[in-house]
Structure 1
């Protein structure tokens, strides 16, 4: 069958969406983990002293450099008396007894910075600038921005996946309950000479499904253990997030809470799985030998003779 125009359109939209998603996420990955591009640090530009090379809200990616690698016209990030590092351009390199020092100046400033910057105060050399993402980074670093940009999307995603999983568990239980009698009936009815072949084909199909559809199985005891672990770790992670107020600590606490809810939902969805099946009043009485009799009735044997193999 050929590919329809609608299928081509859906594929093209999917590919374009993936490309746009990667393009949107990649700058933040580089800023958060600059090692992926061979850098060491990421900083957000707060002032316009280096315009037009970089503007407030831009992010600079910085790599550590040796004294020999820093020359005039390079842009370096260095530590000052303030807690916030400064990023300016090197306008002169001065040789001193203690080592090299650098005269720096902002591109938008008229005069050089007061004093010189010794090498031991240099954080690194600017590799490149990522425009505008600093606004997003600064917003996410606030409590409200972190909740809006991280916690809420993560909670919605996990909630959606949990909802889908719970519904799939319910559907599997209903499907298994309806399919069991039909399978048993199919094997019991196979009494003629071809029943052995039919039963053999059915057995191989079931084995193929089991091998191809393999999945991780969690028992109720495993879910209980996971729930206990999450419940014990949740207070500690919440306390650490409250005391540290760091993004990683808050993320850990949120992930622990979501994991606890996820495991709890799975455990609740399996609450009725251990209940024994109810006896039906109208059904036939239990016959422990019925299965063996049915199997014997449908069993086939082969006897080798001079003329070949015949079914008996």
Structure 2
């Protein structure tokens, strides 16, 4: 995970009190969050929590029931071609032509970003994404014969054709083997860090969140139940906290729970502890925090019903 500190970056996505209803069912209920330039934000939640609906609204495919939604300062459902050229999408799976080669699918989609005239292949753009994403090894291989990791790189290449400022990714590593997942995580981090691309990704995978996300948005039953950096979420969930310190060359470890700050202050303030040369505070795992958050939300929902 990369560090926080995105407040000085340009806001790419702004969502306030987003509500989406389908008849009597409320799929999204008052969600609010921002995404900044060069930031990776993960949306985590169980099936049916509202993740996909939220993404489809941001991509301009659905109009919400209420709320304020802006992507590049424009309501997505009113975005024109120029607005859409700033956006890339990586779906969980594509229905395309398995006999087409990597080169052919890139050339076909590059026609939407022509140089000389409408419908012309943009060879320069194809060459650029091919080199940038290291596609040469399978540029002339049919899509149906690519490995999961290779296919994912092609998906990102298609999303990169328009030189996007944000990429929406829907469970992008589903079905990938560990090596392909690791390579994809490195690619996502590079796109955000080096290219300054904002990335919004939905996932069920807590390990994936820890690998790539700057911030996490946890959704349940259409509502945000937690959001912030991973450390903020771990801290707020009230889980186990381990305090480790070295005093006079001897290592000490204590499970402090909610009293970890009081213990740390005591250690640093006590004049007898001048020989302390290392103090570390480590919160519990993200999985523990997530389970606590979801259990609390379920208990709250049950209390409302009763």
State the TM bucket, normalised to the shorter chain: under 0.3
Question: TM-score normalised to the size of structure 1?
Answer: 0.23
| Larger RCO: 1 or 2 (CA < 8 Å, sep 6+) | 2
Normalized per residue, the structure richer in helix is 1
Normalized per residue, the structure richer in strand is 2
